[in-house]
């Protein structure tokens, strides 16, 4: 049963202040109570209303009665020898979602999920094997950041500097929650728009919506093939939004200015690593000044593909560099903890299934889901840093 209370974490800052203003006015409380609560939520990231110690007990009780406070529970915390940390979060209804902290020498990147599971069916991704459960609310997306931020500070990882929507699910198939959460993270928690990247396999209406925002959020496109026929074998969405349409949308996104596009290209031996494809990839990247990440394929259950050989990956990189394309080859991160998106959750889902639990896939009643059907759950990687494969 849905919680009748208003979820504080799902409210963008303007709605947050309006809701609290009405609440405190009805209780004849001074207006500065709004700022007190704002600091506790956005600056301190408290996990519940009870921690707001400069509010009278009666006001804390009244807040708890009027507002809910999403608090995911850490079901599993896995820490890699390279410092990568994966959290498997249990939500209020028992659903499981993943987030990953990726430390480097100069930044701490958080990869977050936008859906519980994925309905998109990409052939190279572990998330889809466990099926789609439901959309996440904006509060559940934001709660991953808040909980991860607390964990990082408590364990001497420092402050989160970058956020990537590259965890479970296709963000642009959950656009209502995506856009709200982007505003909350940017305006409420002060994460710069250029430090937030949204990943997609090509939900064209969503790309155009994102291009229309005033903030310069970045975009990562799971490309994986520069030819439509081959791409359709990897990504079902290609049949709905073919490559030509996708590239037209990316040109418009690029023309909006200041918004870097990254192409994610998973290198799969004998599938999408033929030498002739490197030139096609360069053509597409140059048309929108995209940065290219070449990603060695990460083995997943039920799929016997292998990563491209090192010399073939280097051949791709050489072709791209010769064309003036900025390119990087990912260094695998977190393999010892199944850090690639969906792997840990899939393990738990399989375990539950063995105990007789049903893995629901449910009707796709959300219009965003229908519009983006066929889009990929993304690979769980940071386009600027680590490869979680």
- Residues 152 and 155: their CA atoms lie apart, in Å, by 5
Q: What is the pLDDT of residue 127?
A: 67
Q: How far apart are the first and last CA of the chain?
A: 37
E-only strand ranges, 22-120: 67-68, 73-79, 85-90, 96-103, 108-111, 115-117
Q: What is the pLDDT of residue 125?
A: 77
Of 98, 140, 170, 381, catalytic: 98
Q: What is the pLDDT of residue 122?
A: 81
Output the domain CATH number for residue 35: 1.10.150.530
> Residues 278-299: what's their mean pLDDT?
95
Higher pLDDT, 11 or 386: 11
341 is catalytic: yes
Same domain, 254 and 267: yes
How many domains does the chain divide into? 2
Buried b (16+ CB within 10 A) or exposed e, 211-229: beeeeebbbbbbbbbbbee
For the beta carbon of residue 161, count every other beta carbon within 10 angstroms.
Answer: 15
Instruction: State the pTM of this model.
Output: 0.86
Same domain, 99 and 189: yes
Q: Token pair 């804390």 is at which residue? A: 60
- pLDDT of residue 389 exceeding 80: no
98 is catalytic: yes
Same domain, 354 and 241: yes
pLDDT digits (tens, 9 = 90+) for 269-283: 999 999 999 999 999
- pLDDT of residue 44 exceeding 90: yes
Same domain, 128 and 260: yes
Supply 111's token pair: 């990869």
Supply 351's token pair: 């375990």
| φ, ψ of residue 367 in degrees (nearest 5) | -60, -30
Q: How confident is the model at residue 372 (pLDDT cuts 50, 70, 90)?
A: very low
Average pLDDT, the chain: 86
Tell me, rounded to whole angstroms, the distance of Cα 218 from its chain centroid. Answer: 12
Tell me, rounded to whole angstroms, the distance of Cα 8 from its chain centroid. Answer: 21
Residue 93 within a domain: yes
Higher pLDDT, 94 or 362: 94
- Domain, as residue range, for 164: 73-372
Higher pLDDT, 192 or 346: 192
Q: How confident is the model at residue 384 (pLDDT cuts 50, 70, 90)?
A: very low
Residues comprising the chain, all counted: 389
Q: What is the pLDDT of residue 362?
A: 34
Same domain, 194 and 292: yes
Of 45, 111, 122, 341, catalytic: 341
Q: What is the pLDDT of residue 118?
A: 83
Residue 166 within a domain: yes
């Amino acid at each position: 049963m849905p919680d009748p209370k208003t979820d504080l974490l799902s409210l963008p800052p303007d709605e947050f202040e309006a809701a609290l203003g009405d609440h405190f006015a009805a209780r004849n409380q001074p207006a500065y109570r709004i700022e007190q609560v704002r600091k506790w939520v956005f600056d301190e990231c408290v996990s519940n209303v009870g921690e707001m110690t400069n509010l009278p007990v009666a006001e804390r009780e009244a807040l708890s009665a009027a507002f809910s406070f999403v608090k995911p529970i850490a079901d599993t915390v896995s820490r890699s020898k390279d410092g990568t940390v994966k959290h498997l979060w249990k939500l209020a209804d028992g659903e499981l979602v993943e987030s990953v902290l990726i430390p480097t020498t100069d930044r701490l990147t958080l990869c977050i999920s936008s859906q519980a599971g994925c309905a998109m069916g990409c052939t190279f991704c572990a998330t889809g094997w466990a099926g789609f459960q439901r959309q996440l609310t904006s509060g559940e997306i934001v709660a991953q950041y808040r909980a991860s931020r607390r964990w990082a500070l408590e364990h001497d990882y420092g402050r989160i500097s970058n956020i990537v929507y590259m965890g479970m699910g296709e963000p642009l198939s959950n656009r209502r929650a995506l856009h709200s959460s982007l505003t909350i993270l940017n305006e409420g928690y002060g994460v710069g728009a250029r430090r937030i990247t949204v990943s997609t396999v090509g939900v064209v209406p969503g790309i155009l919506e994102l291009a229309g925002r005033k903030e310069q959020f970045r975009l990562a496109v799971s490309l994986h093939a520069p030819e439509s026929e081959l791409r359709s074998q990897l990504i079902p969405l290609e049949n709905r939004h073919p490559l030509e349409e996708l590239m037209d949308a990316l040109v418009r996104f690029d023309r909006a200015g200041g918004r870097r596009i990254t192409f994610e290209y998973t290198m799969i031996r004998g599938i999408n690593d033929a030498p002739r494809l490197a030139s096609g990839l360069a053509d597409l990247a140059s048309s929108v000044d995209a940065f290219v990440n070449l990603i060695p394929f990460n083995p997943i259950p039920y799929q016997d593909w292998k990563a491209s050989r090192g010399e073939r990956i280097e051949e791709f990189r050489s072709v791209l560099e010769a064309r003036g394309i900025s390119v990087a080859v990912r260094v695998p991160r977190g393999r010892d903890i199944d850090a690639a998106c969906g792997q840990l959750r899939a393990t738990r889902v399989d375990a539950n299934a063995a105990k007789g639990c049903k893995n629901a896939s449910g009707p796709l009643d959300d219009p965003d889901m229908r519009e983006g059907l066929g889009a990929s759950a993304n690979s769980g990687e940071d386009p600027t840093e680590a490869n979680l494969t």
